[in-house]
Amino acid sequence: MRLDRLLGITLELMAQQRVSAPELAAKFEVSVRTIYRDVDLINQAGIPVASFAGADGGFELMNGYLLTRQYFSVEDLSVIYTLLKALEGAMGNAAAAAMRKLISLHPALAGEGAREAVILSMGTAERERDIVQHLFQAVRQSRVVELAYASLSGTLTERSVEPVNLLWERGVWYLEGYCRLRRARRYFRISRIIRLELTESRFADRPVLRETEQEEAQGIRAHLRFALSARTRVLEQFPGECAYLGDWLDVHTTFYKKEYALSVIASYGTDVRIVSPAELRDEVIAHIEAIRQHYANKEEGD
């Protein structure tokens, strides 16, 4: 769970003068790339983390900055604590360790009165909570799951999946796993899982692909150039992937669905230019032409 991991990384930075990305990756059982993304999120949350390159490089809290329990008010920590408490219902006792760490930061959380002021609802249907519980068990036990999955268009497919992680992103549960049908890592939205079955078959951890190999296996690596007039939206939509270049904002990102890439790029109109790949540029031109033709035909029919 990302929230648990972000809290854990922050506490590691508090406890150690400097810690490397590989050390954090090993401790939290994720890729080094994921650690870099998590550190970016911690920075965005207002906790300044400095990065150092080289053999003895790593991350540490910036000089002169002390993160103590006074950094968070009881109300701040209550929000995190209550969220973890809600997650505990879906994921058993997995959130208990993080909750204990929070209490060590602010003992006042142990009192029921401190938590009554914050009431959070996960907004998850009972059927989804049941699926999450079973998937969490499958992730912990490295058990293959069989599921019937509906795509965005409603197409139903039968999948055999090796579950790796459960993710809670913007109010939506996702399963990350290796899909044996597609022979690649995939993300499955829990609400689209129509049927789920835990098998007795176990799987071994697959080696994490290097970044270049991941991009070759799936996704479209794109270099986009945006006008500064669109910078607010661009910075929100592509956090950590933006760089100012004179009168432009350069973005290097990966799209995992061609249809999504087309819709996002087309929505920026003339505020975006596709630097690469050329194939994506051609796809966008064809997409816009298809829209133009659609409306032209409709006007002729009228």
The model scores a pTM over 0.75: no
CATH code of the domain occupying 2-116: 1.10.10.10
Strands 242-245 and 248-255: antiparallel
Is the model's pLDDT at 80 over the cut of 70?
A: no
CA-based torsion, 277, 279, 284, 288: positive or negative: positive
Is the model's pLDDT at 64 over the cut of 70?
A: no
Mean pLDDT, range 289-296, rounded to an integer: 85
pLDDT digits (tens, 9 = 90+) for 108-122: 555 544 443 333 344
Helix, strand or coil, per DSSP, at residue 73: coil
d(CA 297, CA 187): 37
Report whether 110 contacts 92 (CB < 8 A).
Answer: no
Residue 174: C-alpha distances to residues 170, 171, 267 (Å): 10, 10, 26
Structural domain spans, the chain: 2-116, 126-202, 219-301
Which fold does the domain 126-202 belong to in CATH?
A: SH3 type barrels. (2.30.30)
Q: What order do you get walking across the sheet with 272-276 strand by strand?
A: 242-245, 248-255, 220-227, 272-276
DSSP letter, residue 19: B
Report whether 148 contacts 124 (CB < 8 A).
Answer: no
On average, the pLDDT of the chain sits at: 76
β-bridge mates for residue 148, sequence order: 158, 195
- Dihedral angle, C-alpha 20, 25, 28, 34, nearest 10 °: 110
Q: How confident is the model at residue 211 (pLDDT cuts 50, 70, 90)?
A: very low
More confident residue, 160 or 81: 160
More confident residue, 250 or 37: 250
More confident residue, 262 or 56: 262
d(CA 229, CA 138): 47
φ and ψ at residue 251, rounded to 5 degrees: -130, 130
Which pLDDT value is given to residue 127? Answer: 75
Judge residue 20's burial from the number of C-beta atoms within 10 Å of its C-beta, 0-12 exposed, 13-18 middle, 19 or more buried: middle
